[in-house]
């Protein structure tokens, strides 16, 4: 079953039939052809398999996880694929990442959602753990969903990442998080995450070493 579903997920990706001056990859999700401009000079400008897993889940579980008119934030949005799919499924999306990635992120989000979505998605800077209350005040920011794909890897900001999850998450916020397991030090983040959040595995793909989690704040609404 794992291999069959993974094959179906990977069939959603396609490549241009001929070379162009700008490198891009194509994807089929939410009834649309999505073209993503990538770069190879940084992690955040590449579409990783965890993003495909999360997009596939959103599309195939759109009744149980109905995103229409829901307020969604994606942290570490990278190229924006997850944010684009959530927007096409009817959500009001805020796609966030580091300032140096916002130009490419904005380009991808705009070209793939313009005149196609119920709500115009927003692109906003978010450096994990920095100026959270200033840029996302608890009193006025309420997100129905926090989405994250492949945000845990070999980087020194795991403390800041956990702080960011904690700041953005209300008692009724649902976190959908796709994680690729790599190194033990990174994998220990899951245990730390569980000190603040109840964690449930909703999909598991051993052939990709990726797990898709649903999480809510401990003591929050179920």
For residues 48 and 58, the answer to whether their CB atoms sit within 8 Å is no
Q: Which residues pair with 73 in a beta bridge?
A: 94, 146
Distance CA 67, CA 171 (A): 18
Q: Model confidence over 44-69: pLDDT tens digits?
A: 577 889 999 999 999 999 999 999 99
The residue extents of the domains of the chain are: 1-217
Distance CA 108, CA 121 (A): 11
Global confidence as pTM: 0.92
Q: Model confidence over 147-164: pLDDT tens digits?
A: 999 999 877 789 999 999
Q: Given CATH 3.50.30.10, say whether it is the number of domain 1-217.
A: no
Res 219 pLDDT > 90: no
Q: Model confidence over 66-83: pLDDT tens digits?
A: 999 999 999 999 999 999
């Amino acid at each position: 079953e794992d291999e069959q579903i993974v094959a179906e997920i990977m069939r959603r990706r396609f490549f241009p039939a001929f070379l162009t001056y700008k490198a891009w990859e194509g994807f089929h999700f939410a009834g649309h052809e999505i073209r993503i401009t990538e770069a190879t000079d940084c992690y955040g400008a590449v579409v990783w398999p965890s993003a495909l897993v999360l997009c596939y889940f959103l599309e195939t579980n759109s009744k149980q996880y109905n995103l229409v008119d829901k307020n969604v934030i994606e942290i570490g949005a990278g190229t924006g694929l997850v944010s684009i799919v959530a927007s096409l499924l009817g959500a009001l999306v805020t796609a966030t990442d580091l300032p140096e990635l916002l130009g490419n992120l904005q380009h991808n989000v705009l070209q793939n959602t313009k005149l196609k979505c119920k709500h115009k998605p927003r692109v906003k800077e978010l450096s994990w753990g920095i100026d959270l209350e200033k840029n996302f005040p608890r009193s006025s920011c309420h997100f129905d969903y926090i989405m994250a794909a492949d945000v845990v890897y070999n980087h020194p900001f795991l403390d800041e990442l956990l702080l960011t999850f904690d700041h953005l998450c209300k008692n009724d916020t649902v976190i959908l998080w796709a994680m690729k397991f790599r190194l033990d030090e990174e994998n220990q983040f899951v245990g730390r995450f569980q000190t603040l959040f109840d964690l449930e595995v909703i999909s598991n793909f051993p052939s990709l070493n990726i797990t898709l989690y649903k999480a809510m704040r401990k003591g929050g609404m179920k």
